[in-house]
Copies of this chain bind each other. A is one copy, B any other.
Amino acid sequence: MLGDTQKKGLLIVFSAPSGCGKDTVLARLEKEADFRRSISMTTRQMRDGETDGVDYYFVTQDYFLKKLEQGQILEYTNYNGNYYGTPKSVIDDWLKKGETVILKIEVEGAENIKKLYPDSIGIFLIPPSIKILEQRLRNRSSETEDEVQSRMTIARNELKHAVNYDYIVVNDLLDDAIEDIKSIIRSEKHKTERSKNIIREVINNA
């Protein structure tokens, strides 16, 4: 089959300001597109209903710190005394197998990933407007006015990072945003620099 020689996968770096519907978009995409979603490694306790290797890779602190020292953690954070990080080897294995990998990541971490994986494709999800983002945050009603204001300040700063991504997708209508991202994944696979093997194969297959 054609394309079998094109082994190297596609790494998608996916970010969005808080309140933009990032997780809703990813959940829908998982049903409709063929890709691997990067799974984080954590040192926190597994909770009821969670599965190791699905929700997280649950590891000890010693193991996490050893991996960090070995440069095997792409980016990490410590929240509430527990480490959360993105393991490098799993992503590399998937990419080697030619799979599409989506990595959900904060804007600060994204620039670092682009340095490590120059071929990776950055997609930034943005709200239709700052006003709508504010409404969405208020509608959650779990947040106080101070929290909303603080999140808005963070979101405004995060939006400035949009220019560091390859594609901008506006999350106005969910269906459109999903189609946009699926189109980006499909079209990136046809980029000439990713298709050199195919051209060679077509010519030689005489």
Contact = CB atoms under 8 A, between A and B. Distances in A.
Interface of A: 2-3, 124, 126-131, 156, 159-160, 162-163, 165-170, 172, 179-180, 182-184, 186-188, 190-192, 195-196, 198-199, 201-206
A36 B181 CA distance: 24
Given A172-B2, A187-B180, A199 B163 contact: yes
Contacts of A199: 126, 159, 162-163, 168
**Majority-rule SS of A interface residues:** helix
What is the oligomeric copy number? 2
Given A187-B180, A192-B163, A126 B202 contact: yes
Given A168-B199, A196-B163, A199-B168, A188 B190 contact: no
A140 to B, nearest CB: 19
